[in-house]
Amino acid sequence: MPPTPDHDRSTRRIPTLAPLAVLLAAFITVLTHDVQHDNGLTAIDPEISAWAIEHRTATLTATARVVTTLGDTLTLTIITVLVCAGLIWRGCRRDATLVALTAVGASILTFAGKRLIGRSRPPAVDRIAFESSLSYPSGHSLGSIAVIGIVVVALVPRLHRTAARLAAITAAVVFVVAVGISRVYLGVHWPTDVLGGWSIGALWILVCLGAYTYLNHRWRDHPVRISAPRDGALTNAGPREPSARDAESSDT
């Protein structure tokens, strides 16, 4: 099968994403080390959290509560289900699988990361929202960037206007950033929890997208060939050679 332009772009995507994935993995390693040992980048946590607490207002608090609700597990699950249903309805099963697996993987990474690191949340006296789980990484931040990011990857290429694509990407970035900021503002996460969530979520998107691209590459290079059924229907195997039974039938 000759390569198509889309096929060529897909084969070039994996090496393009690889350097960014390596950088993200290195940053996550350093950040997680600092969180575990309470040094390095964690020095920014008390100052930024204190600044956010000092600048709280009734309007900002109400806004933060709405934004953080939009980035919670329930809302992201609803978004995932709706997007997957729409993709399946349009016949894009592979894209729907990509979105679903990315979202499920993000939840698993959040659950595992919190228990492996075991970081405590900021002091209860500074919180204006209830949270009972551990702190690192921020589940809202990881989930929002993973789900919204993969939805953008799946849907934006289907938008025909450049302005519409830019608007969708901008809205997605603003939403993810706002969710992360709301977690620090409400006092339920340290800033490095949010950075960790964003970084892990972004790396997970790259991993899923790389695997998806590679598998598409394999499927296109090795299409499934269907063997000829007994009723003689046309298949990829080409015309059937006449058999001895056919010759006897023609003589009679």
Split at pLDDT 50, 70, 90, the class of 163 is very high
Token pair 């930024």 is found at: 48
Find out whether 170 and 152 touch, Cβ atoms under 8 Å: no
- Tell me the percentage of the chain whose pLDDT exceeds 90: 71
* Average pLDDT, integer, range 240-247: 48
Sign of dihedral through CA atoms 55, 60, 66, 70?
A: negative
* Average pLDDT, integer, range 4-11: 42
Name the residue among 112, 136, 102 with its Cα closest to residue 28.
Answer: 136
- Rounded to whole angstroms, the Cα distance separating 102 from 153 reads 11
Residue 97, judged by CB atoms within 10 A of its CB (0-12, 13-18, 19+), counts as: middle
Residue 46 has φ and ψ, to the nearest 5°, of -60, -40
Amino acid at 154: A
Express each pLDDT in 184-227 by its tens digit: 999 999 999 999 999 999 999 999 999 888 887 776 655 544 44
DSSP string, 93-161: HHHHHHHHHHHHHHHHHHHHHHHHH-PPPSPGGG-SS---S--SS-HHHHHHHHHHHHHHHHHGGG---
pLDDT of residue 215: 82
Q: Which two tokens stand for residue 158?
A: 């289907």
Mean pLDDT lowest among 30-34, 129-133, 141-145, 178-182: 129-133
| 14 pLDDT more than 80 | no
| 1 pLDDT more than 70 | no
Express each pLDDT in 178-196 by its tens digit: 999 999 999 999 999 999 9
Instruction: Give pTM, 2 decimals.
Output: 0.80
Residue 226 has φ and ψ, to the nearest 5°, of -100, 130
Q: Which residues of 138-150 are buried (b: 16+ CB within 10 A; e: fewer)?
A: bbbbbbbbbbbbb
Express each pLDDT in 60-91 by its tens digit: 999 999 999 999 999 999 999 999 999 999 99
Per-chain mean pLDDT for the chain:
85
